[in-house]
């Protein structure tokens, strides 16, 4: 088969046979693009090269056909070859974005877009950063050099999916086509069961019982300079900086389809506990114990409705809560509707 | 939690699903603790989360026994004062009959020589919960069971249908595996009957919820319309509730219930006061 290399990435793996590197990306021709995995790949090849391949095979992986190249495959560079690659992008809902498909066709409404300047090769450039949300979820979005129309439904064809800091993000560049989209209705809650969440995206609401509360939940101290958590008396980077009190809780929610490690910072936690910031300021040892007990008593065994963002930590997802409250009667209708839709 | 070891997931199941179980897995060589059981809906269980109303309890120094009803039957709970979960026993001791609870615990299976199965739950968490908590558990548990029954029906359509086929139909990995286990172990089980009971749990639940709403409406009407201190007139209660489409017979039932619960009393004929 003959194709153009559309992208190349590499990953190191470590197994019982030792350390090795494999390559992956996209190949393309006049009919479309296809992902590939190469266990062996000539290091001289680069994006844009046209190659002839022999003894390659295809296999379905994660619902997508991939081309595989191994030690028996032959790859020959065609220096005079030229292929106009037809880009084909699959449509995705934001909740279903993943690194399995890195270039996608996605609809959404851009929010909170802020421009930031940076320097590249001595030239000032602009990047626009914010969020893109649809009826299924919310992700961070960055656009290099192109302004993103805000608060209007748009369609980004050929946006790149990346994962940074454990969160799925979208990247828009000059090759991404941005069009106006049909209307997108953002629901009050994007309510999902844990069994249906596979990627680290935001704007999701989950409901369930809190089945454990972390022993270290309670008052913590942060460095006034860098906001990092102080473990041993003072910040190692700013030893003279003041310590500021903050409050934090980590706990597990079980929703019947799975369980999730959740964390909540001061905003959702103080609002949930119905106390002000003064309650966590200048507290002594007894006061700290009382705050810990208040968190535990309020959360443990409570039916909770929580909205936030999933993050990937190592292999597992965790849930960073932005707002939470105890499930009350009016919430039951929304919970039932989400279930009925899935029957 | 032991480092590097994942927490044993807790399954949300109705008491009928537990009661009808007749498969206890053999523990393998190094496996420790209680064995897994496989329920008629194919759920492989060691730990459960249940919710319901305490209908009986007997408290002794070292052991508290209780039953927790969920409208499909009752769970049998035994909490011990010794061991890791003594707090659960003390929490259970503090609950009265009629208290509504959320409980997480390990299933302790037992099979008699006659082949009869008994399942006891040893609680790790016992927490008092309110009506929304119970409603959430019931509706979610019935939803989980219903999806499993749909997957089981698909699995029974062909002996060859496997987890890939069921996943392709939109069932989760857990639902697919449950369906295949149900087909393997419970070929003659009456899934239709189970579906009916699960549906009735939801119906009971909705009725309970509607009755609680009606009680609030009627109590508010009695308080609002007691203008002359002689109690609220029956006609005023009716006109306040008719707006919400409540029938007269329902109003009478709720008035009787509120009376027997000590929330209201009849001052004179057809005049009511809230306490």
Q: Tell me how far the alpha carbon of residue B146 is from its chain's centroid.
A: 15
> Rounded to the nearest 10 degrees, what angle do helices B191-224 and B131-157 cross at?
160
Q: Which residue has the tokens 């844009």?
A: A48
> Across the interface, which of A195, A258, A335 has its CB nearest the CB of B136?
A335
Domain boundary among B168, B189, B210: B189
**Residues B81-89: contacts with CB under 8 Å, at least 24 apart:** B84/B124, B85/B122, B85/B123, B85/B124, B88/B123, B88/B124, B88/B125, B88/B126, B89/B63, B89/B64, B89/B123
Which is nearest to B103 in space by CA: B18, B201, B4? Answer: B18
Contact A343 B147 (CB under 8 A): yes
DSSP label at residue A229: B
pLDDT tens sequence across B92-134? 999 988 899 999 999 999 989 898 999 999 999 999 999 899 9
The answer on B19 and B151 residing in a single domain is yes
pLDDT tens sequence across B224-263? 888 888 899 999 898 888 777 778 888 888 898 888 888 8
Residue length, chain A?
343
Alpha helices, DSSP H only, in chain A? 266-273, 285-299, 329-340
Can you list the domains of chain A with their CATH numbers?
A: 2-77 (2.40.50.140), 90-180 (2.40.50.140), 194-340 (2.40.50.140)
Residue B208 within a domain: yes
| pLDDT at residue B205, as a whole number | 67
What is the rounded average pLDDT for all residues in chain B?
A: 89
pLDDT class of B31 with cuts at 50, 70, 90: low
The answer on B205 and B124 residing in a single domain is no
The answer on B184 and B228 residing in a single domain is no
| pLDDT at residue A115, as a whole number | 94
Residue B120 within a domain: yes
Contact A342 B174 (CB under 8 A): no
**Which residue range(s) make up the domain with B267?**
199-274
Q: Which residue has the tokens 């905003």?
A: A267
Write the CATH number for B224: 1.10.10.10
Angle at B143 between CA B138 and CA B144, to 5 degrees: 100
Q: Does B35 touch chain A (CB under 8 A)?
A: no
**HSE-up (13 A, CA, CB side) for residue A258:** 20
Give strand pairing partners of A252.
A212, A261
Write the CATH number for B130: 2.40.50.140
Q: Does B88 touch chain A (CB under 8 A)?
A: no
Residue length, chain B?
275
Euclidean distance between CA atoms A47 and A153, whole angstroms: 33
Given phi > 0 = left and psi -120 to 50 = alpha, else beta, which region is B4? left
Q: Does B7 touch chain A (CB under 8 A)?
A: yes
Which is nearest to A67 in space by CA: A100, A25, A36? Answer: A36
The answer on B9 and B75 residing in a single domain is yes
The answer on B242 and B175 residing in a single domain is no
Minimum distance, in Å, between the CA of residue A195 and any CA atom of chain B: 7
Whether the predicted interface score ipTM is above 0.95: no
> From start to end of B60-177, where are the E strands?
63-69, 74-80, 100-111, 117-128
Strand B271-274: give its sheet, edge to edge.
B232-233, B271-274, B264-268
**A49: buried, middle or exposed (CB in 10 Å: 19+, 13-18, 0-12)?**
middle
For chain B, how many structural domains are there in total?
Answer: 2
pLDDT class of B5 with cuts at 50, 70, 90: low
Distance between first and last Cα of chain A: 45
Minimum distance, in Å, between the CA of residue A220 and any CA atom of chain B: 23
User: Taking 50 as the threshold, does the pLDDT of residue B1 lie above it?
Assistant: no
Contact A327 B131 (CB under 8 A): no
Structure tokens at A288: 């700290």
The answer on B223 and B130 residing in a single domain is no
The answer on B115 and B224 residing in a single domain is no
The answer on B263 and B180 residing in a single domain is no
Residue B31 within a domain: yes
Report the SS3 class of residue A262: strand
pLDDT class of B90 with cuts at 50, 70, 90: very high
Residue B139 within a domain: yes
Domain boundary among B189, B208, B242: B189
On chain A, the residues whose CB falls within 8 A of the CB of B99 are: none
Domain boundary among B171, B189, B207: B189
Which is nearest to A295 in space by CA: A279, A311, A318? Answer: A279
Give strand pairing partners of A128.
A115, A143
Contact B137 A303 (CB under 8 A): yes
Euclidean distance between CA atoms B104 and A278, whole angstroms: 36
Residue B194 within a domain: no
Euclidean distance between CA atoms B245 and B57, whole angstroms: 40
Residue B121 within a domain: yes
| pLDDT at residue B3, as a whole number | 40
Alpha helices, DSSP H only, in A114-169? none
User: Taking 90 as the threshold, does the pLDDT of residue B53 lie above it?
Assistant: yes
Q: Kindly state the helix (H) or strand (E) to which residue A179 belongs, with its residue range.
A: strand A177-180
Residue B179 within a domain: yes
Report the SS3 class of residue B213: helix
The answer on B205 and B102 residing in a single domain is no
The answer on B236 and B210 residing in a single domain is yes
The answer on B86 and B184 residing in a single domain is yes
Q: Does B217 touch chain A (CB under 8 A)?
A: no
Report the SS3 class of residue A94: helix
Query: For each of chain A's 343 residues, which pLDDT tens digit applies?
Result: 899 998 888 888 877 777 888 899 889 999 988 999 998 888 888 899 999 999 999 998 877 789 999 889 999 999 888 899 887 888 999 999 998 888 899 999 999 999 999 888 888 889 999 999 999 999 999 999 889 999 999 999 999 999 999 999 999 988 899 999 999 999 999 999 999 999 999 999 999 999 999 999 999 999 998 988 888 778 888 888 888 999 999 999 999 999 999 999 999 999 999 999 888 888 888 889 999 999 999 999 999 999 999 999 888 999 999 999 999 988 988 888 888 777 7
| pLDDT at residue A172, as a whole number | 94
To the nearest 10°, the Cα dihedral for A64, A67, A70, A74?
A: 180
Phi, psi of B194 (to 5 degrees): -60, -45
The answer on B222 and B165 residing in a single domain is no
Neighbours of B135 (CB within 10 A): 25
């Amino acid at each position: 088969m003959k194709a153009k290399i559309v992208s190349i990435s590499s990953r190191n793996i470590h197994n019982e046979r030792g350390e090795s590197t494999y390559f992956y990306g996209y190949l393309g021709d006049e009919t479309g693009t296809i992902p590939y995995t190469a266990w062996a790949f000539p290091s001289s090849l680069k994006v844009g090269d046209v190659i002839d391949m022999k003894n390659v095979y295809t296999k379905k992986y994660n619902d997508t056909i991939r081309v595989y190249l191994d030690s028996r495959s032959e790859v020959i560079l065609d220096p005079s070859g030229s292929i106009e690659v037809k880009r084909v992008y699959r449509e995705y809902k934001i909740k279903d974005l993943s690194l399995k498909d890195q270039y996608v066709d996605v609809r959404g409404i851009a929010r909170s877009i802020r421009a930031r300047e940076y320097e590249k090769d001595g030239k000032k450039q602009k990047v626009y950063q914010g969020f893109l949300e649809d009826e299924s979820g919310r992700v961070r979005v960055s656009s290099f050099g192109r302004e993103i129309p805000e608060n209007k439904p748009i369609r980004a064809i050929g946006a790149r999916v990346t994962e940074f800091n454990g969160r799925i993000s979208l990247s828009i560049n000059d090759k991404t086509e941005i069009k106006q989209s049909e209307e997108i209705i953002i629901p009050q809650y994007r309510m999902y069961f844990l069994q249906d969440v596979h990627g680290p995206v935001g704007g999701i609401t989950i409901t369930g019982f809190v089945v454990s509360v972390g022993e270290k939940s309670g008052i913590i101290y942060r460095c006034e300079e860098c906001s990092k958590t102080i473990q041993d008396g003072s910040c190692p980077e700013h030893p003279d900086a003041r310590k500021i009190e903050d409050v934090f809780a980590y706990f597990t929610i079980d929703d019947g389809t799975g369980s999730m490690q959740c964390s909540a910072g001061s905003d959702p936690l103080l609002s949930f506990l119905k106390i002000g910031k003064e309650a966590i300021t200048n507290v002594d040892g007894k006061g700290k114990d009382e705050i810990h007990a208040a968190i535990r008593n309020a959360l443990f065994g409570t039916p909770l409705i929580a909205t936030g963002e999933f993050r990937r930590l190592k292999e597992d997802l965790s849930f960073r809560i932005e707002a939470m409250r105890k499930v009350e009667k009016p919430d039951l209708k929304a919970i039932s509707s989400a279930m009925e839709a899935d029957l | 939690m032991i480092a590097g070891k994942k927490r044993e997931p807790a399954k949300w199941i109705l008491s009928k699903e537990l009661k009808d179980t007749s498969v206890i897995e053999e523990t393998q060589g190094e496996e420790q603790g209680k064995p897994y059981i496989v329920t008629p809906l194919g759920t492989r269980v060691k730990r459960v989360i249940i919710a319901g109303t305490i209908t009986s309890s007997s408290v002794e120094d070292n052991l508290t026994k209780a039953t927790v009803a969920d409208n499909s039957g009752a769970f049998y709970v035994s909490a011990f004062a010794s061991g890791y979960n003594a707090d659960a026993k003390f929490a259970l001791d503090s609950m009265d009959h009629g208290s509504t609870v959320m409980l997480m615990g390990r299933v302790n299976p037992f099979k008699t020589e006659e082949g009869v199965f008994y399942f006891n739950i040893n609680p790790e968490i016992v927490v008092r919960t309110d009506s929304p908590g119970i409603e959430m558990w019931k509706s979610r548990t019935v939803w989980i069971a219903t999806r499993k029954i749909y997957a089981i029906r698909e699995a029974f359509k062909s002996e060859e249908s496997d987890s890939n086929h069921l996943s392709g139909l939109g069932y989760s990995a857990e639902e697919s595996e449950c369906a295949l286990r149900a087909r393997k172990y419970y070929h003659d089980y009456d899934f239709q009957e189970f579906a009916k009971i699960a549906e009735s749990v939801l119906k009971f639940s909705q009725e309970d919820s509607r009755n609680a709403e009606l009680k609030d409406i009627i109590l508010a009407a009695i308080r609002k319309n007691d203008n002359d201190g002689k109690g609220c007139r029956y006609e005023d209660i009716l006109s306040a509730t008719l707006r919400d489409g409540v029938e007269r017979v329902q109003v009478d039932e709720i008035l009787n219930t509120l009376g027997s619960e000590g929330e209201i009393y009849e001052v004179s004929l057809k005049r009511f006061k809230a306490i």
